[in-house]
């Protein structure tokens, strides 16, 4: 293929991969659908990214930017084949500026590596998606990733001051800048964050960070009744306390973790609540006592407060063990992130349980109670065609329920192609028209991550050859 030779001229032969095993290895992310690219390209810098995009633009070849491939919505799966643009060679932290509290990084920097580098300078970068050990800043920006600290600290868009972006035709723009205040023109930074690689390729980001909290305290408690847990969350927040983490687990998740680790978790409760507060040490003791009292008042059982880091780690064990525990039950795990207003969590949980019963599926529910971001995980087997059909129906009903409660399809995983069909439900024709207009303006040839975000339209996209599994 002539294109492959031209790509090699841009990034070097050793950074272009089109052998069967390479195409297979870049056909998936952390979702269960896969599709092979025609070629994998690993550029080293912005100029090479621009060169690749110019070639793709000329030949109308799909380009799918990819970080670590840990996404949960299929964002980096090349559903129409074409070029996978692996950005992990661009992994330099170019600057950490402690006077302006900002850093300049390339998209391939691993999230944890960046957070650690900032911590070594005595500061704090809060976004912590659960894949942060592997995920990249570029991927986090593309999907606008959140994490357990989002309620208090926000998500990665709240830490993004500016971007360098290569547009579909290879032109390069810089958005935002190095200041917190910046109202100069349209906020393109926020447009590109969360655009899932459909509008441009981020090649550099200016990220802000903050001073770290002085101390952290952790509390774990169980509620025989789900509604009491929800009322407690609201009560804590109404007291003016903003926990750094407010994690919730339902009875099913408690059961699977208990069966896995035998931690001695109670099996006759409807909810587990893990609360973490951080801030000045002097304030925390009083805050945690206040939260403990509230929990008891609202009908909780067994309030455990950690006084050391080690004890805190123990309290987190149940929450952190959900994924491995769940993985032992069935081979396929569909992790959703439908999000509702905080006060509607109990209703949403009840809906989810009804849906599980209706479609005879096992669904464990956990998530971030502070921001209403629930993670119903459907346990299934991708080999079981009948079950997968029921899963599909259940997923549709989950989205419907979330939207009816005033929520959204996705709190932090992104739309990708798995949720794309449901976009009209949330945004309506006009909302989608506005989004399509932006897409059309920036990528008129539709080469950037095609098949993502937007529901498949009347006209079927031209498929590039590639094997579909």
Secondary structure letter of residue 32 according to DSSP:
S
Q: Which residues pair with 363 in a beta bridge?
A: 378
Strand extents, DSSP E, 308-392: 332-335, 362-368, 373-380
- Going by C-alpha positions, the residue among 333, 454, 354, 344 that lies closest to residue 408 is 344
**Contact assessment for residue 56 and residue 447, using Cβ atoms and an 8 Å cutoff:** yes
Residue 142 or 188 with smaller CB distance to other proteins = 142
Residue 321 or 432 with smaller CB distance to other proteins = 321
Out of 328, 350, 389, 463, point to the residue binding other proteins (CB under 8 A): 328
Residues sharing a CB contact under 8 Å with residue 227, sequence separation 6 or more, in sequence order: 346
Determine what percent of the chain falls in helix, strand and coil, rounding each to the nearest 5: 40, 20, 40
* Side-chain half-sphere exposure of 218, counting CA atoms within 13 A: 17
Tell me: does residue 44 bind other proteins (CB under 8 A).
no
Out of 45, 216, 234, 323, point to the residue binding other proteins (CB under 8 A): 323
Span near other proteins by CB under 8 A; candidates 57-65, 230-238, 322-330, 366-374 = 322-330
Tell me: does residue 45 bind other proteins (CB under 8 A).
no
Out of 8, 12, 32, 54, point to the residue binding other proteins (CB under 8 A): 32
Span near other proteins by CB under 8 A; candidates 98-106, 326-334, 363-371, 409-417 = 326-334
Residue 127 or 139 with smaller CB distance to other proteins = 139
Task: Supply 430's token pair.
Answer: 């006009």
Tell me: does residue 469 bind other proteins (CB under 8 A).
yes
Reported residue count of the chain is: 469
Residue 90 or 246 with smaller CB distance to other proteins = 90
Residue 89 or 390 with smaller CB distance to other proteins = 89
Instruction: Tell me, letter by letter, the H, E, C secondary structure of 124-144.
Output: ECCCECCCCCCCEHHHHHHHC
The residue to which tokens 């060169």 are assigned:
51
Residue 229 or 380 with smaller CB distance to other proteins = 380
Tell me: does residue 22 bind other proteins (CB under 8 A).
yes
Q: One symbol per residue from 381 to 420: x for binding other proteins (CB under 8 A), - otherwise; what is it?
A: --x-------------------------------------
Span near other proteins by CB under 8 A; candidates 14-22, 160-168, 278-286, 427-435 = 14-22
Tell me: does residue 327 bind other proteins (CB under 8 A).
yes
| C-alpha dist (Å) from residue 331 to 324, 363, 410, 432, 448 | 11, 14, 23, 35, 32
Tell me: does residue 21 bind other proteins (CB under 8 A).
yes
What is the full DSSP assignment across 103-121? EEE-TTSBHHHHHHHHHHT
- Please report how close the Cβ of residue 19 comes to other proteins at its closest, in angstroms: 5
Tell me: does residue 18 bind other proteins (CB under 8 A).
no
- Please report how close the Cβ of residue 285 comes to other proteins at its closest, in angstroms: 32
Q: One symbol per residue from 67 to 106: x for binding other proteins (CB under 8 A), - otherwise; what is it?
A: -xxx-----------------xx-----------------
What is the full DSSP assignment across 406-446? T-BS-SSS--TTTTGGGHHHHHHHHHHHHHHHHHHHH-TT-
Residues between 355 and 384 with contacts to other proteins, criterion CB under 8 A: 383
Count of beta carbons in the 10 Å neighbourhood of residue 88: 18
Residue 328 or 436 with smaller CB distance to other proteins = 328
Q: Determine the size of the site formed for other proteins (CB under 8 A).
A: 33
Residues between 113 and 152 with contacts to other proteins, criterion CB under 8 A: 131, 133-135
Span near other proteins by CB under 8 A; candidates 170-178, 323-331, 391-399, 405-413 = 323-331
**Contact assessment for residue 330 and residue 364, using Cβ atoms and an 8 Å cutoff:** no
Q: How far apart are CA 117 and CA 313, in angstroms?
A: 22
Q: Is 94 helix (H, G, I), strand (E, B) or coil?
A: strand
Q: How far apart are CA 51 and CA 201, in angstroms?
A: 12
List contacts with other proteins (CB under 8 A): 17, 19-22, 24-26, 28-30, 32, 42, 68-70, 88-89, 110, 131, 133-135, 323-324, 327-328, 331-333, 383, 467, 469
């Amino acid at each position: 293929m002539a294109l492959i030779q031209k790509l090699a001229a841009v990034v070097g032969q050793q950074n272009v991969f089109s052998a069967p095993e390479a195409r297979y290895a870049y056909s998936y992310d952390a979702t269960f659908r896969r599709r092979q690219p025609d070629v994998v390209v690993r550029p080293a810098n912005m100029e090479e990214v621009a060169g690749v995009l110019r070639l793709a633009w000329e030949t109308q070849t799909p380009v799918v930017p990819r970080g670590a491939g840990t996404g949960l919505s299929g964002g980096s799966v090349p559903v129409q084949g074409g070029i996978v643009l692996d950005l992990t060679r661009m992994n330099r932290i170019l600057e950490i500026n402690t006077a302006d509290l900002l850093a300049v990084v390339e998209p391939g920097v691993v999230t944890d590596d960046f957070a650690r580098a900032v911590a070594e300078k005595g500061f704090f970068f809060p976004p912590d998606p659960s894949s942060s050990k592997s995920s990249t800043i570029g991927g986090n920006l593309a999907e606008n990733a959140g994490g357990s600290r989002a309620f208090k600290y926000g998500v990665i868009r709240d830490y993004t001051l500016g971007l360098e972006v290569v547009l579909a035709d290879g032109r390069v723009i810089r958005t935002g800048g190095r200041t917190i205040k910046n109202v100069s023109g349209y906020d393109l930074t926020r447009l590109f964050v969360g655009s899932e690689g459909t509008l441009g390729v981020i090649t550099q980001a200016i990220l802000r960070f903050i001073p770290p909290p002085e101390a952290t305290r952790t509390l774990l408690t169980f509620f025989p009744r789900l509604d009491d847990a929800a009322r407690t969350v609201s009560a804590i927040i109404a007291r003016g306390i903003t926990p750094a983490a407010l994690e919730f687990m339902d009875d099913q998740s408690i059961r699977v973790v208990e069966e896995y680790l035998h931690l001695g978790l109670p099996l006759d409760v409807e909810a587990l609540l893990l609360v973490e507060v951080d801030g000045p040490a002097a304030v925390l003791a009083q805050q945690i006592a206040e939260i403990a009292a509230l929990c008891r008042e609202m009908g909780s059982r067994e309030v455990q407060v950690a006084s050391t880091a080690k004890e805190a780690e123990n309290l987190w064990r149940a929450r952190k063990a959900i994924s491995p525990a769940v993985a032992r039950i069935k081979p396929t795990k569909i992790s959703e992130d439908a999000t509702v207003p905080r006060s509607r969590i109990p209703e949403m949980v009840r809906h989810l349980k009804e849906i599980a019963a209706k479609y005879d599926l096992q669904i464990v529910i956990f998530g971030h109670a502070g921001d209403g971001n629930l993670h119903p995980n459907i346990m299934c087997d991708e080999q079981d065609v009948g079950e997968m059909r029921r899963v599909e129906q259940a997923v549709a009903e989950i989205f419907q329920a979330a939207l009816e409660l005033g929520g959204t399809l996705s709190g932090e995983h992104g739309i990708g192609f798995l949720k794309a069909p449901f976009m009209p439900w949330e945004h309506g024709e006009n909302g989608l028209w506005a989004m399509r207009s932006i897409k059309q303006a920036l990528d008129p040839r539709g080469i950037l991550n095609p098949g993502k975000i937007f529901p498949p339209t009347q006209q079927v996209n031209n498929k590039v050859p590639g094997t579909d599994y």
